[in-house]
Structure 1
Amino acid sequence: MKLPNGITGFYNSENKPPNVDGKHFNQVCVTALSQLGGEVLMFKEPQYPTNFYNAKVKLRNRIFHILLNEHYPYVAFASAVEYEKIRFIDEEAELVKRLSSFYHVLPSSELNLPVILRQASKKDILQNDNEFNQAELEQIAYWKPKIIGEIIFNFWD
């Protein structure tokens, strides 16, 4: 998976990433869950320091989160969302199918891939395929995420 410019929420003025429509995401979640007998319990817009929308949902007596990156249409599921720690999970195919009509649903296997850094002339260089701008590379060097999901859905300030 190639990570696009600005996915972290950090950018230089000439590299500003797009924004996704949070109201549309909320409506898609409400519709998909109601069709499956579930419900949205809480909906949060990205707020400092997060870079993602967070829908806490209930489906078949399970409570989990549906996350959407605020800049790109990447969705993930999580069993827990805590400051700087998200536990990514996979969800049932029927929910994935309904969300996939609008978003790229990322499997936990991709989100849990390690971030690969190598040391070169006293500086860490990110090896994962990406289009990051300099501001993002600086944040990655500072926060040192361990998995790809921590880059796409982060709590960086």
Structure 2
Amino acid sequence: MKLPPGATGFNPPPGGQADPRVFAGICHHTARAIDATVASVTPAGVTPSFHTVTIASVQQHIAVLRHTTLPLIAFARPHANGDVTVTFVDHPDLAAAITHLTDAQVLTVNQLQTPLAQIDLSLLDPGEHHQIDYWKPITLGELLFNSWD
């Protein structure tokens, strides 16, 4: 996999920011499709490098993460306020529902756990390489969905 510029969330390409309102709208439609509701919406801000929408059903809560610049989505366990740990999970029903509404790619846990050594980072700019050298992510998921400051 070759990552495009902006993958770390630093130095995003101009005009490449995902609109958190559009993402929230997609998640509202998706939640209804799986008999759930949107419990919270958290835009990225300065950090993290992703928007978060928490979807709640009778069985569980799941965080839907949308990278701020790349059309990538992942699912994770919701975490407490202030906790920056991201534990990725798969949710095939949610993935199927969300892919009907967006062109963004839903990444699986297996893809997110790909070692960074197997990822082509040649298109990232020097500023992004500096961040990678500093924060030392080990997996693709740690690079894409981070809370680096």
Q: Normalised by the size of structure 1, how large is the TM-score?
A: 0.83
Pick aligned residue for 2:135 from 143, 146, 154: 143
More strand by share: 1
> What are structure 2's unaligned runs of at least 5 residues?
none
Distance across 2 between alignment mates of 1:151 and 1:84: 13
Q: TM-score, normalised by structure 2?
A: 0.88
CA distance in 1, matches of 2:65, 2:46: 16
Q: What is residue 9 of structure 1 aligned with on the other side?
A: 9
Local SS of the residue matching 2:146: coil
For 1:156, the equivalent position in structure 2 comes to 148
Match of 1:31 in 2: 29
| Bigger radius of gyration among the two | 1
CA distance in 1, matches of 2:63, 2:27: 11
Equivalent residue letter for 2:6: G
For the residues of structure 1 that align with 2:114 and 2:84, how far apart are their CA atoms? 17
Distance 2:140 2:25 in 1: 27
Q: C-alpha separation between the residues in 2 aligned to 1:47 and 1:66?
A: 16
Q: Secondary structure at the match of 2:18?
A: coil
| Cα deviations by residue, 1:114-144 (Å, 9 ceiling, x for unpaired) | 222xxxxxxxxxx621321111000000000
- RMSD of equivalent CA atoms: 1.8
Work out the CA distance in 1 between the residues paired with 2:85 and 2:96.
Answer: 26
**Structure 1 stretch displaced more, 22-31 or 96-105:** 96-105
Is the 2:34–2:97 contact (alpha carbons within 8 Å) kept by the matching residues of 1?
no
Letter in 2 for 1:110: Q
Q: Structure 1, residues 90-127: CA drift from partner, whole Å, max 9, x if none?
A: 003x32122113121001101111222xxxxxxxxxx6
**Could you tell me which residue of structure 1 aligns to residue 114 of structure 2?**
113
Task: Give 1:17 deviation, angstroms.
Answer: 6.5
AA aligned opposite 1:129: D
The amino acid of 1:6's aligned partner reads: G
Q: Give the CA deviation at 1:51.
A: 1.2
Unaligned runs of 5+ in 1: 117-126
Residue type at the aligned position of 1:99: I
Structure 1 position 21, deviation (Å): 2.0
One-letter identity of the residue aligned with 1:115 = L
Counterpart amino acid of residue 8 in structure 2: T
Q: Give the aligned partner of residue 97 of structure 2.
A: 98
- Structure 2 CA distance for aligned equivalents of residues 16 and 142 of structure 1: 24
Q: Secondary structure at the match of 1:27?
A: helix
Q: How many residue pairs get matched?
A: 144
